[in-house]
A and B are shown apart, each in its own frame.
Chain A
C-alpha cells in the first residue's frame, strides 16, 4: 500500500493554493460568481444594448 517517499511535500505551513482548494464554500462562491458575471450579467447587458430600430 502507501509508502510515502520523500517528495518535498513534508510538514510546514499549508500552501495558499491548497488552502483555497480545501475551502468548498469559497470555491462555491467563485463558481457561482464567475459565470454569473462573465456570462449571465454581461449577456443581459449585451441584449439590453441592442438599439431600437427606426
Chain B
C-alpha cells in the first residue's frame, strides 16, 4: 500500500515513493548541470583566442564531457523527475514499481559517473557524438548504454503509472495537458533510446574488437536518431513546463485543448524526423529523403511549435485580461510578475527558444542552407539557444516554483533569485548570437585554435570573428555565474528553513470542464497575436536573408 501526503500549497495528493524519486532525480540532474556547466566554461575560455585557457588535449576532453553532461545527463535526469511528477503527482496516483524506479536511478547514475571517469582518463575524447571510426574506450559506450537503459525503464514506469491512474480511477476525463506533454517526451524518449541501443551496442562490440568495422555513414544515420531526438524530448518537456508555469503562476487555462494537443500530436509523429538535419551534406543520401525528413514532414512539427508559441502566452493573456488587465494591447504583459523567477524563467525560455533557437534551427536544417553552416560554430550557437536558453532555462524557472513547494522549504536568497533567469538568459543569448555570428564568418566548431598556429599553412579569419569568440567567452562567464547561483540556491533551499504549514489543507484539484473563452467577435488575445506576428516577421526576414547569402557562394550541383 502506498503512503500519500497532501501538498499544503496546492492540495495535490503526493505518493511518498514518487516524491523521493522526483527529488533524487532532480537533485542529481542539478549536480550534473553544475559539473557540465563548469566544463562548458572551460571550453568557452579556451575558444576565447586571447585567453586560450586549456591545452588541446584537455580542451577536447572538456568538450566531450560538457556535451555528455549537459546534453544527456543533466537534462535527462531532470526529465525523469518531471515524468514522475507529471504522472504520479498530477494524476494523484501511486507510482508504478518504485523499486524498479530506484534500479533505474542507480543505472543512470552509474552510467553517468562511469562516463565522466572514462572521459577524464583521457582516452575517450571523441565528443558526445563519438563518430566512428574515432574510437573511445569501450567503457565510454557502456556508460552511455547503462544510462540509456535506466532512462528507458523510467519511461515505461511513466506509462505504467498512467495505466494505474486510469485503472484506479484517480482522475476523470483526459489527462492534464502538462501530463500529455510529458507523455510526448516519454514517447520520443523511447524512440531515442532504442536508436541509441541499436547503434551503440555494435559500436561497443567494435571497440572491443568483436566486430571488424562499423560503417561511418550508417552510424551517423542511426546515431542521430538518438542524438537529435534526445533534444526533441527536451522540446516537449520544456513546452510542458511552459504550460505548467502558466497554470501555477496565473491559473491560466489553455484556450483550446484541441489546438494544444494537436500541436503535441505533430511532435509525436514528426518531430524526430529532423534528425536528418545532421545528414544534409553527407555523401550519397537522396534529396527526397533529406527534404522530407529535414522539414519534419512539410514543417508540420515546426507548425506545432509555432502553435505552442501562441497558445502559452495567449493563455496567460486571457487569464490576465480576466483579472482586469485589459488596457491596450499589452497591459496584461506589463503586469506580469517579472520579478518572480518562475515566470521570468519560463517567459525568457519561450522568447529565446522561439526567436534564437527555433528560427536558427529551421534555417540550419534547410537542405541547401546547411552548406554554409554545417559544422561551423553556428551549430552550437543554435543549440545553446534551444537547450540552454530554452529547455534549461524553463527547467530553472519551474524549479524556482517546484523546489520550495515540493520540499516545503523557503527559497534561499530570494532577492538574488529575481535576477538569475535574466542573467542566465542574457549570457546564453550572448553565447547563441556570438557563436552564430562567428559561424557565419566560417569559424569551425570543436576546434582548439582558430589561428592555426601549429599548421604548416596559414589562414586568417576576419578580426570580427576573433572579437565574436571573445564576446562568446564573456557571455559564457555570465551564464555560468548565473547557473552556479541557481545550483547554490537549490542546495541551500533544500537544506534550509522549513515553510510554515497552513492551518487548513487546500482541497485536492479536480478535473475541469471546458470553459468558453467568452469572446464574441474579435480576437481574445490580441497582444499575443501582435507578438506572434513580430516573431513571424523576424522568421521570414532571417530565413530569406540566408537564401541570399547562399546565392553568393560558388555554383554547386
Bits for B161-180, please: 1 = Cβ < 8 Å to A, else 0. Answer: 01000000000001100001
* A4 interfacial contact with B, CB 8 Å: yes
Name the A residues within 8 Å of B516 (CB-CB).
5-7
Q: Is A38 within 8 A of B159, CB to CB?
A: no
A residues adjacent to B (C-beta < 8 A): 2-7, 9, 17-18, 21-22, 24-25, 27-28, 30-32, 34-36, 38-40, 42-44, 46-47, 49-50
B residues adjacent to A (C-beta < 8 A): 159, 162, 174-175, 180, 183-184, 186-188, 190-191, 194-195, 215, 217-218, 221-222, 225, 229, 258, 261-262, 265, 268-270, 272-273, 275-276, 279, 283-286, 289, 292-293, 297, 512-516, 518
Please list the 7 inter-chain residue pairs (A to B) with the smallest Cβ-Cβ separation, ordered nearest first.
Answer: A5-B516, A35-B272, A31-B187, A4-B513, A43-B221, A50-B284, A31-B268
How far apart sit A50 and B261, CA to CA, in the bound complex (Å)?
40
**A4-B514, A32-B191 are known contacts. Are A47 and B215 too (CB-CB below 8 A)?**
yes
Q: Name which residue of chain B comes closest to A43, CB basis.
A: B221
**A4-B513, A5-B515 are known contacts. Are A39 and B159 too (CB-CB below 8 A)?**
no
Which of A17, A35, A47 interacts with B191 by CB under 8 Å? A35
Q: Is A28 within 8 A of B270, CB to CB?
A: no
Which of A28, A31, A46 interacts with B289 by CB under 8 Å? A46
Which of A4, A22, A34 interacts with B269 by CB under 8 Å? A34
Which of B188, B195, B512 interacts with A31 by CB under 8 Å? B188
Name the A residues within 8 Å of B188 (CB-CB).
31
Q: Is A2 within 8 A of B513, CB to CB?
A: yes
Total number of A-B contacts with CB less than 8 angstroms? 107
**A25-B159, A32-B194, A47-B215 are known contacts. Are A7 and B514 too (CB-CB below 8 A)?**
yes
Q: Name which residue of chain B comes closest to A50, CB basis.
A: B284
Which of B180, B187, B285, B515 interacts with A7 by CB under 8 Å? B515
Name the A residues within 8 Å of B217 (CB-CB).
47, 50
**A21-B174, A46-B284, A50-B283 are known contacts. Are A28 and B187 too (CB-CB below 8 A)?**
yes
Additional pairs, 6, CB under 8 Å, beyond known A32-B194, A43-B285: A21-B265, A31-B272, A34-B272, A35-B272, A36-B191, A44-B222
How far apart sit A45 and B410, CA to CA, in the bound complex (Å)?
56
List 15 contacting pairs A-B, 8 Å CB cutoff, sorted by A: A2-B513, A3-B515, A24-B162, A25-B159, A27-B183, A31-B269, A34-B269, A35-B272, A39-B293, A43-B293, A46-B289, A47-B217, A47-B218, A50-B217, A50-B284
How far apart sit A11 and B187, CA to CA, in the bound complex (Å)?
30
Name the A residues within 8 Å of B221 (CB-CB).
40, 43-44, 46-47
Q: Is A39 within 8 A of B276, CB to CB?
A: yes
**A4-B514, A47-B215 are known contacts. Are A40 and B190 too (CB-CB below 8 A)?**
no
Name the B residues within 8 Å of A36 (CB-CB).
191
How far apart sit A7 and B162, CA to CA, in the bound complex (Å)?
28
How far apart sit A26 and B184, CA to CA, in the bound complex (Å)?
12
**A3-B515, A44-B218 are known contacts. Are A38 and B292 too (CB-CB below 8 A)?**
yes
How far apart sit A29 and B276, CA to CA, in the bound complex (Å)?
21
How far apart sit A44 and B195, CA to CA, in the bound complex (Å)?
13
A41 CB, nearest partner CB in chain B, Å: 10
How far apart sit A17 and B175, CA to CA, in the bound complex (Å)?
15
How far apart sit A39 and B284, CA to CA, in the bound complex (Å)?
15
**A28-B190, A50-B283 are known contacts. Are A35 and B229 too (CB-CB below 8 A)?**
yes
How far apart sit A18 and B257, CA to CA, in the bound complex (Å)?
10
Q: Is B513 within 8 A of A39, CB to CB?
A: no
